[in-house]
Structures are given as C-alpha cells and as structure tokens.
Chains A and B, each alone.
Chain A
C-alpha cells in the first residue's frame, strides 16, 4: 500500500500545479455546429471561431476596426483594395502566413457553396502581388468592403490542400469536411479537443504574433454548451463556470445577490421591431375595402398606444432602454436628433384613429416567435393588450422559428416581430438594404416584411453603396433612415439586452455586439 502513496501524492501535486493555469470555463446556450468559418453564418459561431482564426482586419474591444493580419491597406482604384500583410505570422501548425493563403481564403469564402458568401457580397477575388501584398478586387465600388472583410477568416492554403478542404463544407458536397472538426488558424488560441454538444477545449497559442502586446492572460478556455436554462443557472450558482453569455433575464436579480460573481447587463446593437403590413390587403380582413395600416396616422396611433417604457421596465426587467430610432447609437448613421417622438398617450392614439376614420377599431393578425428574440412572447402579449384598449383587436399567434420564417417570407401576417443588429458589418447599410429598400427580388429588401417602398429612400441607399468617402456615405444613410423613420413601416420597441455573468476574478469587457473576445480577458489568481 505504502508504495502507492508517494506517486499518488505526486500526481495530486502535479494536477494542482496544472490548475494554477488561468482557465476560463465558458457556458453558452447552444453548441457551434461547425468549426469551418465559411460554412455557417451565425454570430455565435463566429464569436468562437474568432479565437482560432483571424481576419485581415478586426474589431477590437471598443468595436473599432484594427489591423490584424494586414498592417495597412489602401484603395489603388475604385474596385481594388491593396493589403500589406503582417510578416512573420505563423499558422498553428507552423506554416507561414502569406499572400497565397489570402488568395485561397478569399476564393473559399466567395465559393458558391460558402454559407457566409452573403457576408462577403462585395468581394470578387484576390490576386497576390508579391509574398506579402495582396489585391482584393470588388464586384463594384463599395464603401462596406472593409466591414465585410473583417468577417473573412484567413486559412492556411497548404493545410487546406493537404486535407482536401479548399472548398467550404456544404450540403451539396454530401460529405463532411476536414475543417468541420479541425482547425488551423493564426489566432490567439488553438483547439485541443472537440466533443460535439459536450465541450471544446482551447489552449493558448504559444506562437501567436501578438502575444507580447496582448493584455490577456488566459491559458485555457473550456467551452460548454448547456441547452437548458435551469441547468445553466444551477451551474453558475454551483460555480462550475467562469463566464456565462446567455442568461435568462428573470434570473438576474437572484444572481446579483451572489457576491462571488458579477452580472454585466447592457443594451445591445439589436433593436427589436414590430412590422406593419403595408400591402393592399390585411390578412385579418380589410375594413371598408382598405388596409387601415396604410394610413400613417393609424401606425402612429398604434405606436402611441403601447407603453414601451413599462414593457422595458417590467418585461425586460429594466435591463434595457426603449428604442426610438431604427439604429443603435453605436452604428454609424445613428441620429439622436431625429428620434421618433411618439410616446405613450392612449387618449391621443384613440383620437388619431378616429381622425383616420377607424374610431370603431379593426382586426389584425399578429404573429410572434418563440426563442428568437428575448422575451418576445411576453412583450407581444403586452402590446396586444395595449392595442385592445384603443379598440384594435390583434389575434396573437405564437410560432416556432422555422414555421414563423415561412409566414413572414410569404407575407401572411399583419404584425410580425423582427430584430436587427446590423452585424457582422456594423453599418446602417445592413438595415437599409435588407429592411428599408423596396423588395425587388434581386437581393434588396429581403427582410422588408411590411413591403415598405419609398423611391427617395431607395435612391439614397443605392447612391450610398458606391460612395467611398465614409462621411458622405454615412450621411446619405442617415438621411435615408430619417425618411424611413418618419414613414414608420416598423415600430421600434427596445434594444435587446446583452447579459453576461462572470466570476469576480475574471476581467472582461462586455461589448454591445455580444461578441466575447477572451484574448483581452484577465484572470486574477488569488
């Protein structure tokens, strides 16, 4: 027996020493389906992949675009961006990073099978000039190419060739790809192990180019998807995690009482909207052969009838703010001076309805979705009852995400719910092109559920796209969004809160894009 004691003791000491590493156990609500950065468009997937892969330029902790794998860039003509690459950067398998990797990565992201091709819509191709210089050609003159490129991860050409992964994994290939479960980036962390739906382990990349200037000191990340809210909450309380980035709002008060953890809550970039059906017919039935929602006064009345302040306080637990603009303040194009001024006033709302000729009220089909937007079922119900008070009867139906998408796609709704964060490009371009431009089946107005159409708005959006002067471009978008806000095709509700819970020992800045950047994080051992 005795001869086992010493080795056992030594093992204990050894494991103790290993635990002295700075480990961050990070729990989220859902797993990342694939590690292939070009396969699947999701902010959460990108958030995780960002720890392994890097782009030519990237947003820092303050959401400013910073040089990453490129040191600088310039437009050499209207459709060509020249990038000067950082030298001495190595991939995690030891390969050098150079222009051939950029060319291969750009070809990969713009491949017809790429799942995030739409997030690189302006990019045509890349041509190497020399070993550390690359020209990226754009499809047309565009002011958002840099924003888009900040989401294009750089992969190793030799590694992709070796593992037959030059094309992104996709449904059409009919097989899974090497890059689905294996990674080789230039980023601050490298993948140690992956067990789907269970956990992923990342460790510090010892050869990361920026390690000497990095303020972070995290050695290891253990990423755990925990689907059930209650289980995740128990895990927080049992101190099984150091960072939880999806916490149900109703549990925050309880967590705040625990003094070993800190709760970070702030409004995000995502504005939650209700959409008004502006087609000729209402799904719930027209009144006197007309769609009442086409009357601006009716839409204004509907907005004034809802006490959004109360919803933000009670249902969103006072963890966010009412949104009176279509954009979050951090998005270029935001204009506080032109905020919509339709505060809660049920008396005036009723008067406006009467003025428009609908004093007796009318019926609406109201479709709400579960699981997509924070507490949406609850605030949909609240809106429904506020409208009932001014005589508007909305028939509220809850849907699951997949069914809901079909309903909104086909316009089979009068009032729908929609959230828009303008990510990943973080620019008013996103909401303008997708929500405010007339839906013309060519890619404009894909999420224009109301079928809103204003020629002036369309013209300003189209004029802004090829504008390379950022100030002029933002100005056009600002004008256009102000015009649209006055037309009120969408009713802004509030910003979705970002809620993180972290161990007191962890220092990590919360950002409104809800992206975790753990290479900036510090763990204080004590």
Chain B
C-alpha cells in the first residue's frame, strides 16, 4: 500500500512537471504583454526595459527553470495585469468556483437521482418520452446558451434572480462565502443551474440504465415475489446497487466542472477562477495562466488519484495484482 502511494506520488510530480512545461511552452506564442502594460506614449527604451525586467527576452528553457524554482518556493509571481500576487489572486477566486461547483453538484444529485429512479420505474410513456426529450436538449445545448436563456427568462422577464455577480459575501480569513445571505443564494441559483444541467442529464441517464439492469436481476424478482413494499424494493435494494458506478462518475465529473466552469463564469460574471483565466489570456498575463493551469492539473490529478485509491481499498482483487 505504502509503495503504491509513493509510486502514485512520483507519477503525480512527473505529470505536473509535464503539464507545467507544455503550458509554459504554449505561451511563447500568445504574444507580448508589453503593449498592454505601457501607455501609448512610452518610448522604445521603456518598452525594452520592461521586457528585460519581466525576463521575457530570456530563452524559453531559462524562463521555465526560473518559473519552476519559484513555484517550489510557493511563489507564483506577480500578475502582469492586476499587479498583485498570483497565488493570492487564485486563492481569492477559488472559493467562488468551489462554491459554484458544490451547489451545481448538489442540484444535479437532488434532481438527477429521483428523475433517474422515476424514469426507470415509471409506466407513464408520454411523460417518460417528454423527460427523455428534455434531457436530450439538456445534453446538446451549449452551456453559454443555456446561461443566456436562463438570464433572459429569470432576470429580464421575471426579475427573480440577478443576472450576474455573486451577491454579498462573508469573509473568514482567506475564505469567502456567499451562501450566508439571501442575496448570495439568489445569485448562485442561475449559474449553478446552468452548470449542472449537463450533469443532471448524465446522472439521470446513468441511474436509469443501472436501475433497469438491477431490476432485471434475480434478487429483485425474489423481493417482489416476497411481496415487499415497492418503495423498499426500489430505494433500498435496487438503488443501492445501482449507486456505485454513479458515484465514481460524479467524482470524476467534479474535476471537469471546476475546469469547465469557465464558460458559466464568463456568462454570469461569476468572480471565480475561470473568469480570472479568461481575463489573463486576454491580457497575456503569463504568470496567472501558468499558475491556473497548474492548479487545475493538480485538482484533476488529486481527484483521480483519490478515486484510484478508493478502488484499491474497495476492490480486494487490486491488492493482488
């Protein structure tokens, strides 16, 4: 077990270095931030000086080396555009993104599970067809469009929810949360809903197919024959066994939601990491872009490693191999 974990850790470090290197080499083609940072009336000398100061004239490998050394000291540099510490900037945004993702996952589970169970056992063909059709739309519509539609309906016409922002936030040291006020909850509903739509559909379809499979097994038939209560059969016996693959998928999806919240955050002006990333790309803010990619890679790798370790614990057959 210990050797397995050590092996995984070494793999993680190698993977992180690879991600860092690839992202870093990509930015060599992004352009030059100098013109965004200096006024129009700056002289050529001033431009060259700034380029020197930022180390943009160095060969790529040297820049990468400096970058890795600084990261190892916990120093992600200063954002070219915002002129503040990048680590601080990301930590400022992380709570917003995590909060959005957590609420989106909660919505997906709360809606997706019952819908999945219901669609597996319902006999109402008309309603079933309608839900299946809606879920198809949910999967195929791009999330920015869903976001805009939600804004048009709930903000512009009905005026129930605000179209953008995070509402009032409460701070606890580095962490901030919007979930302690009504305004905060109102603000999170639309972005979380638009982010969760894909996952709702995914969970629903997965639960349905797993349930249908479990329902065909013998022990369900026996349970029915014993005359057990229907709810007990569905929720205690069938659903439990259909749960495991669903949980795995949800776990893996969370990493994806964090990374792909970019679109939702842009549409709803949600002050999270995705918005920071988009802005950094526009301004060729290389320290922020690299740090963001490293953070996201880290989140992905940690989640995947945890899932692997869970398998290792759950499935005894893995220990032998």
Contact = CB atoms under 8 A, between A and B. Distances in A.
Interface of A: 30, 33-34, 36, 39-41, 115-119, 121, 169-172, 174-177, 180-181, 195-199, 224-228, 230-232, 234-235, 237-240, 371, 400-406, 409, 430, 433-434, 441-443, 446-447
Interface of B: 30-46, 50, 53-54, 78, 80-85, 88-89, 92-93, 148, 151-152, 155-156, 159, 162-166, 169, 266-269, 271, 275-276, 278-279, 282-284
B84 to A, nearest CB: 4
A406 B32 contact: yes
Contacts of A169: 83
B99 to A, nearest CB: 13
Contact of B83 (A180, A231, A238): A180
Contacts of B279: 30, 197, 227
18 contacts: A36-B83, A171-B50, A174-B78, A197-B93, A197-B279, A224-B164, A227-B275, A230-B148, A230-B267, A231-B163, A231-B267, A231-B269, A238-B159, A239-B159, A401-B35, A402-B35, A402-B284, A442-B43
5 nearest A-B residue pairs (beta carbon): A402-B31, A41-B39, A443-B43, A405-B35, A118-B41
B78 A175 contact: yes
B82 A196 contact: yes
A234 B147 CA distance: 11
A231 B164 contact: yes
A244 B271 CA distance: 19
Nearest to A31: B279
Contacts of B283: 402
Nearest to B96: A198
A39 B82 CA distance: 10
Given A226-B164, A238-B155, A121 B41 contact: yes
A113 B37 CA distance: 12
Contacts of B169: 195
Given A227-B266, A234-B155, A176 B83 contact: yes
B268 A406 contact: no
A180 B88 CA distance: 14
Contacts of B43: 118, 442-443, 446
Contact of A400 (B31, B37, B88, B89): B31
B42 to A, nearest CB: 4
Nearest to A230: B148
Contact of A371 (B80, B148, B282, B284): B282
Interface centre among A30, A177, A196 (most CB of B within 10 A): A196
Contact of B78 (A176, A195, A403, A406): A176
B30 A403 contact: yes
B78 A171 contact: yes
Contact of B266 (A177, A225, A228): A228
A227 B269 contact: yes
A232 B165 CA distance: 11
A180 B84 contact: yes
A167 B43 CA distance: 21
Given A119-B41, A230-B148, 14 more contacts: A33-B82, A118-B46, A119-B39, A197-B279, A198-B165, A198-B271, A228-B267, A230-B267, A231-B148, A231-B163, A234-B152, A403-B31, A446-B41, A446-B44
Residue from A119, A171, A197, A232 whose CB has the most chain B CB atoms within 10 Å: A197
A118 B39 contact: yes
Contacts of B148: 230-231, 234
A176 B84 contact: yes
Counting chain B CB atoms within 10 Å of each CB, the highest count among A118, A181, A404 belongs to A118
A293 B31 CA distance: 28
A446 B41 CA distance: 8
Contacts of A228: 266-267, 269
B53 A172 contact: yes
A431 to B, nearest CB: 10
B303 to A, nearest CB: 26
Contacts of A239: 159
A198 B276 CA distance: 11
Contacts of A196: 82, 89, 92, 271
Nearest to B154: A238
A118 B37 CA distance: 12
Contacts of B32: 402, 405-406
Contacts of A174: 78
Contact of A238 (B39, B84, B156, B278): B156
Contacts of A405: 31-32, 34-36
A112 to B, nearest CB: 8
Contacts of B88: 176
A115 B44 CA distance: 14
Contacts of A230: 148, 151, 267
